Amino acid sequence: MRITKRGWLGRSIGLLLVLVLASSALIAACGDDDDDDTTATQQPAATQAAATTTDDSDDDTAATTEEDDADDTAAATEDDDADETAAATEEDDADDTVAATDEDEADDTPVAQATGFEDRGYADTSRLVSTQWIEDNLDNDRVILFDLRNEEQYGEGHIPGAIRLQAGAVFQKEIDGVSGLIPPGDEVAASLAAVGATPDHTLVFYDARGSIWASRAVWVLAVYGHNDVRLLDGDFPLWAAEGRDVNTDVPSPTGADYAFSAAPNEDLIAGWQEIVDQIEDPSSLVCDARSAEEYAGRDVRADRGGHIPESVNVDWVRALNEDGTFLPADQLREIYEGEGVVGGKTIYTLCQTAVRATHTWFVLSELLGYDSVKVYDGSWTEWGNRTDTPIES
């Protein structure tokens, strides 16, 4: 077959076109693969970045959440602890307040009065106690018991816990040459403070017999205004006779602060001039508590013997039973009224040094309830040694 130049050339051009198209197709195919690889490479990176971001965000969120939860938990715990602490503090404060209130109320509660005197008919027993009352109050810190007997008697045995006081030194003093007078209040207070007494204590006194010095102690403290002072009916002899506990232990009290807060009660005490002025006054009377022999001037214990004009004599021992306890009110009233010592008058009591006189003061003012009874504190020691006082014998 014969081929011309024109025919060969045409075929060559056609073949060239086929090759070009094939190359183009191949290049296009290769280009698509590169794009796919690039995309594939890019997609995992993006996905990884996104995943990493998500994980980090989740971790951060979780961490933040945990931290917040921990903070919340800690805060809640602190709040709970604070609440519990506050509650505990409030409870403790409440307990302390209740305890303090209870103590204050206990301190404000008066020491109980003695019982057992109801059948005696006394006007007032607030300053009188029984042996049973002493027994019941031996461990009462608000009560101080004083023994006024001498040192030998005290050393042989006393009521447990009793503190010995030298009555003559504490409740009497020589002033301006007159012995046996009531000491200044600050001196009495100092003596009481030295043995641990305070104005809030109940002070109870007993002696050897008949409450003679105990009544002096009660009267002195009544003059100076001690709130609660009492004496033991029957004193130590009755306590011992009843077989109650006696020991020889000597207490060692701690000193305290004590001062009388009021002025002396002048309604309980009289001086010699007041006694002179009342001699002819029918609204008053002197009751002489000495013995009949002293009253008559046969037993002389001063420069002069005898008695004050218009006075009457009722020996102090007549107010007592044989065991040293006080007689019932009806018997006391019969004795004193029988001698003209009646209520409605101002009664002055005296003896030698105003010890027996205070016993009669106690009987008349406390047990019989006379409204106006005063102790002539100078008594016969002063009256009988003066030269300007009237005397009968």
223 with 147, same domain: the answer is yes
| pTM, entire model | 0.75
Do 183 and 276 share a domain, yes or no?
A: no
Assess whether 159 and 144 both reside in one domain: yes
> Residue 145's domain is classified under what CATH number?
3.40.250.10
Helix and strand element counts for the chain (H, E) = 12, 12
Do 271 and 248 share a structural domain? no
Which of 234, 264, 294 is the last residue before a domain boundary? 264
pLDDT tops 90 at residue 30: no
For the chain, what's the residue count?
393
CB 185 within 8 A of CB 260: yes
Question: Which tokens is 336 given?
Answer: 């004193």
For residue 349, pLDDT over 90 is answered with: yes
Give the Cβ contact number of residue 240 at 10 Å: 16
What are the C-alpha distances in Å from 102 to residues 97, 168, 198?
8, 40, 21
**Separation of alpha carbons 287 and 373, rounded Å:** 10
Look at the alpha carbons of 263, 174, 146, 117 in this order and tell me if their dihedral is positive or negative: negative
Residue pair 284/345 in contact by the 8 Å Cβ criterion: yes
State the pLDDT confidence band at 107, using cuts at 50, 70 and 90. low
Q: Tell me the Ramachandran region of residue 321: left when phi exceeds 0, alpha when psi lies from -120 to 50, beta otherwise.
A: beta
Same domain, yes or no, for 234 and 122?
Answer: yes
Domain-embedded: residue 78: yes
Nearest Cα to 219, choosing from 393, 354, 380? Answer: 354
Please tell me whether residue 286 adopts helix, strand or coil conformation.
Answer: strand
Could you give the angle at the alpha carbon of 131 between the alpha carbons of 125 and 137, nearest 5°?
90
Q: What is the pLDDT of residue 165?
A: 98
The answer to whether residue 1 is domain-embedded is no
Within-domain flag for 125: yes
172 and 78 inside one domain: no
Mean pLDDT value across residues 348-356:
98
Whether 380 contacts 294, CB under 8 Å: yes
pLDDT tens-digit series, residues 359-382: 999 999 999 999 999 999 999 999
Residue after which a domain boundary falls, among 214, 239, 264: 264
User: Are 272 and 389 a contacting pair, CB within 8 Å?
Assistant: yes
Q: Which domain holds residue 90?
A: 74-108
Residue 43 resides in a domain: no
**Domain annotation covers residue 228:** yes
Residue 389 within any structural domain of the chain: no
- Contact indicator for 374, 269 with CB cutoff of 8 Å: yes
pLDDT at 69 over 60: no
Q: Exposure pattern of 13-32 as b/e (b: 16+ CB <10 Å)?
A: eeeeeeeeeeeeeeeeeeee
- pLDDT value for 97: 46
Residue 206 and residue 167 in one domain: yes
82-96 pLDDT per residue, tens: 454 444 445 555 454
For residue range 323-334, list pLDDT tens digits in order.
999 999 999 999
Is 8 within a domain?
no
Looking at the fold, whether 333 and 375 belong to one and the same domain comes out as: yes
Catalytic annotation present for 287: no
Q: What distances in angstroms separate CA 106 from CA 110, 142, 160, 325, one per listed residue? A: 8, 10, 24, 32
Strand order in the sheet with 269-270: 269-270, 373-376, 346-350, 284-288, 312-313
Q: Which of 244, 264, 284 is the C-terminal boundary of a domain?
A: 264
Catalytic choice (145, 212, 351, 367):
351
Confidence of residue 350 (pLDDT cuts 50, 70, 90): very high
pLDDT, one tens digit per residue, over 149-195 is 999 999 999 999 999 999 999 999 999 999 999 999 999 999 999 99
Angle at 351 between CA 321 and CA 128, to 5 degrees: 40
Whether residue 92 lies inside any domain: the answer is yes
What total number of domains does the chain contain? 3
